[in-house]
Structure 1
Amino acid sequence: MFGRRTTFGTNQQSFAEFKETMRPAPDADGVTRVFPKELWDDPKIGKFLREVGFAPDDARNILPTADDYIALFAAAKQRLDQRTEAFNRDMTTRYGYCRAVPFLVIDHTIWDGEHGAFLYAQMNLIGYDDWNVLMLAADVRTKEACELAGHPGTVPAVTEVMTRRVIEWKRRHDAALEAFGITATGGRGITRERYEAEQDALRREIVDNVGWMKPRIISELLRIQA
């Protein structure tokens, strides 16, 4: 499907070229849009986008800026710090001592790498949120008193597994986006509703998969550290 050519009036444009017009660059008014304003002036694409319920200034068509993401991550990190403090207070009350620290199942090397933008921009996921966090012991005393697995730093095997999965999730998302883009350029693809449903299902799958990984990571750490 990639590279299929469709006609806009007297011009032809492939889906690859269409994706290029959806580059993350600001419009003349300084706002970065999923579908740039120039697309809305195209008689075929603009008409199609309006028919499926989009508008140039819809919230879902406005992309966050770098500053928006920085603020988003900072707020999420602050919430994580607060949850960590609350966890340690509660566990100290119960066991007399606790110094636990967060462990990210999808770790910072993935979030900061080439696939991180897929997770936070396309999937609207933040790595500091509960779905991706385990609380693990920062020292031996906590491990013994609270019966927590010790924090290993990074676990290359987990990073490798999760990297492969993120790459596959991104591939599936890109395929759905391509199919929707083909529809947007006048071909036979999928509807906006179908694309959004597939996007939501993929997001749930990512969260569920990380949840499935958590007890297995803990079990393996406890086995190794016994």
Structure 2
Amino acid sequence: MRPTPDADGVTRVFPRELWDDPKIGTLLREVGFAPDDARNILPTADDYIALFAAAKKRLEERTEAFNREMTMRHGYCRAVPFLVIDNTIWDGEHGAFLYAQLKLIGYDEWNVLMLAADVRTKEACDMAGHPGTVPAVTEVMTERVIEWKRRYEVALEAFGVTATGGEGLTREQFEAEQDALRREIVDNVGWMKSRIISELLRIQG
């Protein structure tokens, strides 16, 4: 990824000067790219701020809807979200890999558990209590994110070799690898959710 914008102010995965090279530009077009394709344009910080704000608002709305529904069922509910891959990871050095390369947002449902904010909710709704931060979960998920990022970078390097004239991954193969990695992350987080709930219920009695 290119860290600085091109002369026109747009930051591209494959910078504009590559397209002006007779050999490389031709190869990039042959594998299906164009300089101003949406997939070749990197979002700005403002784009990501707006994306996260919209996702956070959706989470707040889902939380309110969850509490309304559970209150109708049980007479009372005050649940709050727990992020399996938590904010310390999203805001850290590996977070951009998840949201910029894999288009995953931590506030979306795949990464969220609803847990009881108080004892009354825990008892009325038969729900595990929210533990706050869980360093052990953060540590495990950080290790996994680092490994997923390493695998992505291997695939990206192989694709970059192809795009500049070498033998590596085709665009279709790279996108398949990317999609498979995204599915693996979502599935792994889903598996972690059940483990977290089981462990919380065990500890909290």
TM-score (structure 2 length as normaliser): 0.98
Structure 1 unmatched ranges of 5 or more: 1-21
Question: What's 1:33 paired with?
Answer: 12
2:31–2:163 CA contact under 8 A, matched in 1: no
Give the residue type in structure 1 aligned to 2:197: I
Determine the C-alpha separation between the residues in 2 that align with 1:213 and 1:29.
44
1:208 to 178, 187, 199: 187
Aligned-CA RMSD value? 0.8
1:143 pairs with 2:119: no
1:91 pairs with 2:70: yes
Structure 1 residue 181, shift from structure 2 partner? 1.1
Name the % identity: 87
Give the residue type in structure 2 aligned to 1:192: R
Deviations 1:131-165 (A, max 9, x none): 00000000000000001100000111111110010
Question: What's 1:128 paired with?
Answer: 107
Give the residue type in structure 1 aligned to 2:30: E
1:159 pairs with 2:151: no
Structure 1 residue 23, shift from structure 2 partner? 1.4
Give the residue type in structure 2 aligned to 1:116: G
Give the residue type in structure 2 aligned to 1:80: L
Determine the C-alpha separation between the residues in 2 that align with 1:87 and 1:189.
47
Structure 1 residue 199, shift from structure 2 partner? 0.4
Give the residue type in structure 2 aligned to 1:75: A
Determine the C-alpha separation between the residues in 1 that align with 2:4 and 2:23.
22
Deviations 1:14-44 (A, max 9, x none): xxxxxxxx41311111111111111101122
Determine the C-alpha separation between the residues in 2 that align with 1:103 and 1:110.
14
1:76 pairs with 2:48: no
Structure 1 residue 183, shift from structure 2 partner? 1.4
2:98–2:104 CA contact under 8 A, matched in 1: yes
Residue 134 of structure 1 aligns to a residue in which SS? strand
2:78–2:118 CA contact under 8 A, matched in 1: yes
Moved more, 73-82 or 180-189: 180-189
Structure 1 residue 185, shift from structure 2 partner? 2.3
Residue 135 of structure 1 aligns to a residue in which SS? strand
Structure 1 residue 190, shift from structure 2 partner? 1.1
Structure 1 residue 93, shift from structure 2 partner? 0.6
Count of residue correspondences = 205
Determine the C-alpha separation between the residues in 1 that align with 2:144 and 2:22.
39
Question: What's 1:55 paired with?
Answer: 34
TM-score (structure 1 length as normaliser): 0.89
Question: What's 2:150 paired with?
Answer: 171
Residue 127 of structure 2 aligns to a residue in which SS? coil
Residue 82 of structure 2 aligns to a residue in which SS? strand
